[in-house]
Amino acid sequence: MKNGLLLIDGLNLIRRLHAALESEPDSERRIERTQSLCIDALAKLVHQFEPSYMAIVFDSPAKTWRHEAFPEYKLGRPPMDDALLESMGRFAEVFRFNGWPCLRMTGWEADDLVATLAFKASQHGIGSMIVSTDKGYTQLLQYPHILQYDYFAKLGYDANWVEQKYGVAPRLLPDYWALVGDTTNHIPGVKGIGPKSSVEILKNKSSLEQVFDCLSEYPAKFQKLLDGQLSHCQFARSMVTLKLDVEIGIRLSQLEIKRSTSV
């Protein structure tokens, strides 16, 4: 991915590194150590992938369109540590000091901003590497020039990995999650349908709509479970599908890494 775009899910990286330091009793010291680990991780990633452009993307602290559409979105997810939440601005300052551009937009999750940046870069033949453990990004692997990397597992994801992991192509992942549900974000699927059933239902189909158009072709057990569930599935799919057209208002040149970084 040399000379491409490196996209970092900022909160994903920070929270995991912060969690790894749970034995540190002093909250301020824990924040400082987390910052150091983040700088080390980011420097390694820049060295590894040699990007020309980079964005460390953060979630908006305000509610997003998903919360408006579904108030129970992410309900039950453990809240962020108060001290860590209050220090987010300091993390961004440190990252920018090292020449690494940061991005946050009110009302938008990092997921949609990352997806939009990667998709637009893909349209111009520019490779993007998304660094996150969030499975939601894997739907983007349907597009050329987009890959995902798990920094902690040292594992790269591509379209082949998705098919081996889930049994469906990346473009069908939102349809798949609409059927099985997205427990991480508290989005319910169709009751009684699990991963294996979803793969069977979507086999040789191009969309949920085609599934429901051909419902009579399925075994009685699936017909019974799916009957009357199209609207719910379409809503769930809209919730898990990442936006590719957010008006971010920046040029790629604004994400150029300001100075070289060595490990």
One domain, residues 112 and 144: yes
One domain, residues 141 and 40: yes
Decide if 262 is inside a domain: no
Strands 146-150, 155-157: pairing kind: antiparallel
Sign of the Cα pseudo-torsion (123, 115, 230, 193, in order): positive
Q: In the predicted model, what is the mean pLDDT of the chain?
A: 95
Decide if 38 is inside a domain: yes
The side-by-side arrangement of strands in the sheet containing 5-9 is 102-103, 53-57, 5-9, 128-131, 146-150, 155-157
Cα–Cα distance, 164 to 117 (Å, whole number) = 26
Span 86-103, mean pLDDT?
95
Q: What per-residue confidence (pLDDT) applies to 61?
A: 84
One domain, residues 16 and 125: yes
Per residue in 102-152, pLDDT tens?
999 999 999 999 999 999 999 999 999 999 999 999 999 999 999 999 999
Q: What per-residue confidence (pLDDT) applies to 262?
A: 46
The DSSP secondary structure of 201-251, one letter per residue, reads HHTT-SSHHHHHHTGGGS-HHHHHHHTT-HHHHHHHHHHHSPPS-------
Q: In this structure, what CATH number is given to the domain that contains residue 195?
A: 1.10.150.20
- 170, 122 contact by CB (below 8 A): no
One domain, residues 139 and 83: yes
Span 180-201, mean pLDDT?
96
One domain, residues 151 and 172: no
Per residue in 211-236, pLDDT tens?
999 999 999 999 999 999 999 999 99
Q: Please give the structure tokens belonging to residue 49.
A: 């992938």
Decide if 74 is inside a domain: yes
Residue 142 has phi, psi (to 5 degrees) of -70, -20
One domain, residues 152 and 226: no
Span 30-49, mean pLDDT?
97
Decide if 140 is inside a domain: yes
Span 31-54, mean pLDDT?
97
Q: What per-residue confidence (pLDDT) applies to 263?
A: 44
Per residue in 241-258, pLDDT tens?
999 999 999 999 999 998
One domain, residues 57 and 105: yes
Please give the tally of structural domains in the chain: 2
One domain, residues 59 and 105: yes
- 220, 232 contact by CB (below 8 A): no
Q: In this structure, what CATH number is given to the domain that contains residue 87?
A: 3.40.50.1010
Span 43-67, mean pLDDT?
95
One domain, residues 23 and 123: yes
One domain, residues 159 and 185: no
One domain, residues 139 and 204: no
Share of the chain above pLDDT 90, in %: 91
Q: What per-residue confidence (pLDDT) applies to 5?
A: 98
Cα–Cα distance, 4 to 130 (Å, whole number) = 11
Q: What per-residue confidence (pLDDT) applies to 259?
A: 61
Domain of residue 195: give its range: 167-240
- Residue 1, pLDDT above cutoff 90: no
Cα–Cα distance, 14 to 152 (Å, whole number) = 12
One domain, residues 70 and 179: no
